[in-house]
Homo-oligomer: A and B are copies of this chain.
Amino acid sequence: MVLIPEVSKLSRSAFRRLGMTPPKAPDAPPARLSLISRHLAPVYPINTPYAVERLPSTIDTSLLPKNQTRQLTTTTPKMSQPAHPTLLIPGPIEFDDAVLQSMSHFSESHVSAGFVATFGETLSMLRKLFQTTDPASQPFVLSGSGTLGWDLVAANLIEAGEDVLVLGTGYFSDGFADCLRVYGANVTELKAPVGTKPTLLEIEKALSEKKYKAITITHVDTSTGVLSELKNLSALVHKVSPDTLIIVDGVCSVACEEIDFDTWGLDGVVTASQKAIGCPAGLSISMFSGRAMKAFENRKTPASAYFASMKNWTPIMQNYEAKKPSYFATPSPQLVHALHTALSQILAKPVAERFAGHKAASDKIKAAIATLGLKQVAANPNEQAHGMTAIYLPEGVKGAELLPILAKKGVVFAGGIHKEIITKYIRFGHMGVSVLDPARGDIERAVKALEEGLAELGYTKP
């Protein structure tokens, strides 16, 4: 039997051979349509026949979208999320209907052509989000919590006994340091007082005292809302310690704070799905530079993890991005679909607009906090994150009393997590749809609830 492909399945060159005009390029129609058509394809792709090898493969960049001009539908499909309190913690955040709907995608093989295309596009879209066009940059999307990104760095880029400088900004930089130590790194923590970050002068001094394999920066420490500045910091590291890898924990910053991966010369940014990217938790997402990948390839000792091993995952990520089925461990098709939807929405507009939108909302929130007479944990306006605000409670107000009152008003804030001040503050997350879709009114409702809640507990604003 000869399989006769339907006209819709003919390749562009086949159209030309037949003297016909091929339809527009595959990525020209709206992404939604392309997704649907993929499901309706009359000939289903085979499921991993013999393409399960783990051999490294050079990525065929001709397959990558040269100029991603996705036209995305802005109308979300009908789906009603049941009434629920608005989640305004620093992640997970509120999710868009279309993203949540993608979580219910019917079951697909993780090596089917349809899913491979979805995963491949997702990886390519991450390059846009991180603003890297260097083909040597390598994105990873793994099943796991954001924390897994620390293991990825610690187990692959650092060898036992190598020195790492950790900029200490709070609970999460402490965690990164712990993780690095588990894998044998010799960690130096340059700690700043609660609510601040190490200065460039202090960092320059530290870098001049020892040769560090890597420096880690927690871009936004979710425990304090302190924002680290990456541009000048990266320039400094490149100047005074050019061999040091610049590794960023971007869990609470990717997709809400500017990150210009190539221009700033970053070597690694690790993040998670459930914060400003706006996809449910369950994915560790990261980007590494060609220089970081070289550091991994040039290790003298084998990487000291298996599931978190770049050796195991790099060929798989490269194959997926080249639209080739590949297998090391089963990814989560549903979460990857949701990430694809979230990234498609994000990239429908220039990322700079997204960062500006978060900054505008943050400025408004911080002004409202000040009007209420409240102080932030991050006192210096230049060190304040744009996707969250850590707010000191007024004297006499307990978080354990305030948070349930806010929740009753339909707004969920987070308690403290930094051990030195844990009972003294609360955290307000403002990322994604809650700030970019003003029609939701999430922020106004939250500020109003905070004002009313404090009043109910006897607080009078100055």
B-binding residues in A (CB < 8 A): 1, 3, 39, 42-50, 52, 79, 81-82, 84-85, 87, 89, 91-95, 100-101, 103-110, 112, 142-148, 150-151, 154-155, 178-179, 182-183, 272, 274, 280-282, 302-309, 327-335, 399-400, 403-405, 407-408, 410, 412-417, 422-423, 456-457
CA distance A43 to B406 in the complex (A): 10
- By the criterion CB–CB under 8 Å, are A109 and B50 in contact? no
- By the criterion CB–CB under 8 Å, are A95 and B107 in contact? yes
Q: Given contacts A305-B151, A412-B44, are A104 and B100 in contact (CB under 8 A)?
A: yes
Q: Which residues of B contact A334 (CB under 8 A)?
A: 100, 103, 280-282
Dominant secondary structure at the A interface:
loop
Sample 8 A-B pairs with CB under 8 A, ordered by A number. Answer: A101-B104, A109-B412, A112-B412, A143-B145, A143-B148, A143-B282, A282-B334, A305-B308
Please list the 6 inter-chain residue pairs (A to B) with the smallest Cβ-Cβ separation, ordered nearest first. A44-B407, A282-B332, A49-B415, A145-B329, A147-B329, A46-B403
Q: Which single member of B46, B91, B92, B423 contacts A50 (CB below 8 Å)?
A: B423
CA distance A327 to B148 in the complex (A): 15
- By the criterion CB–CB under 8 Å, are B333 and A49 in contact? no
- By the criterion CB–CB under 8 Å, are B79 and A107 in contact? no
CA distance A63 to B436 in the complex (A): 42
Count of identical protomers in the assembly: 2
* A43, A84, A183: most-surrounded residue (chain B CB, <10 A): A84
- By the criterion CB–CB under 8 Å, are B414 and A91 in contact? no
CA distance A281 to B105 in the complex (A): 12
CA distance A43 to B404 in the complex (A): 7
CA distance A236 to B416 in the complex (A): 52
- By the criterion CB–CB under 8 Å, are B305 and A182 in contact? yes
CA distance A330 to B93 in the complex (A): 12
Q: Which residues of B contact A104 (CB under 8 A)?
A: 79, 100-101, 103-104
- By the criterion CB–CB under 8 Å, are A48 and B407 in contact? no
- By the criterion CB–CB under 8 Å, are A147 and B45 in contact? no
CB distance from A277 to the nearest CB of B (A): 13
CA distance A416 to B112 in the complex (A): 14
Q: Which residues of B contact A332 (CB under 8 A)?
A: 145, 274, 280-282, 335
CA distance A193 to B309 in the complex (A): 29
Q: Which single member of B42, B105, B147, B329 contacts A408 (CB below 8 Å)?
A: B42
Q: Given contacts A50-B416, A143-B282, are A404 and B1 in contact (CB under 8 A)?
A: no
CB distance from A400 to the nearest CB of B (A): 5
Q: Which single member of B1, B42, B178, B306 contacts A154 (CB below 8 Å)?
A: B306
Q: Given contacts A106-B100, A305-B151, A414-B109, are A457 and B89 in contact (CB under 8 A)?
A: no
CA distance A182 to B302 in the complex (A): 8
- By the criterion CB–CB under 8 Å, are B109 and A93 in contact? no
- By the criterion CB–CB under 8 Å, are A272 and B330 in contact? yes
Q: Which residues of B contact A408 (CB under 8 A)?
A: 3, 42-44
Q: Which residues of B contact A106 (CB under 8 A)?
A: 81-82, 84, 95, 100
Q: Given contacts A49-B399, A414-B48, are A182 and B306 in contact (CB under 8 A)?
A: yes
CB distance from A42 to the nearest CB of B (A): 7
